[in-house]
Every structure is written in structure tokens, then in C-alpha cells.
Amino acid sequence: MKKIIVFTILAATATLLAQHPASPAHAGETDTVHSITLPEIPPTLKDGPGKDKVITLCAICHTPDYIPMQPRLPAKTWDAEVHKMIKAFGAPINEEDAKVIINYLTTEYGTGK
């Protein structure tokens, strides 16, 4: 049964691709490229020392808008979150910048503990 379903999906995909104007079967029929420019929406983070590092370094992987969506967290948790991003997800943040980011998050979005 699984083989029939997979074959059906593959056949349907091949059919759709062959009918698509950008497929090799239709190459040269259109030379028009359509694109859109999305508006730039700056992150809405609180002002404070380190905000620039957060916007620059954290935004490499995700929108900084996730930060204010979090509950207020203690410094220990912000530290763990930043180091998780570095160790588990490979965020290109050195230890000096990590301290600045953690201080910003703790000051602006922390519990004061």
C-alpha cells in the first residue's frame, strides 16, 4: 500500500512539474522574472546597551522579535539560552559578545534576579 501511495505522489509531482512554465519542458517560453520587495520591519526591542549586538548577531538565525515574546527570565536562564544558541545551533557569537547580549537580555527582559 505504501509503495502505491509513494508512486502516486511521485507521478503527480512529475506531472505538475512538466506542466509548470518554468520546467525544462517549457524553457524559453517566458523570460520574465517576477519579484517582490518586502517592507523592512525593524525589530521592536527595548533600547539599551547591547541592543545592537542582539539585532546584529541574533538576527543571523532568527527574528529578534522572539525576545519580547518570552516571559521575563532570570539571568541564569538568559545565559543558558544564549549559550544554547552558540553550542547547539552554532550561532557565531564569541564569549565577549555573549556577555553583552546576556547583560542586555537580563536588563531589559529579565526578572531582576
The tens digit of pLDDT for each residue in 34-64 reads 899 988 877 789 999 999 999 999 989 998 8
| Angle (CA) 11 14 17, round 5° | 150
Residues of the chain with CATH 1.10.760.10: 51-109
Beta bridge partners of 73: 110
- To the question of pTM greater than 0.85 for the whole model, the response is no
Q: Yes or no: is domain 51-109 CATH 3.40.50.620?
A: no
Burial class (CB in 10 A: 0-12, 13-18, 19+), 57: buried
Geometric angle at alpha carbon 79, from 84 and 109, rounded to 5°: 115
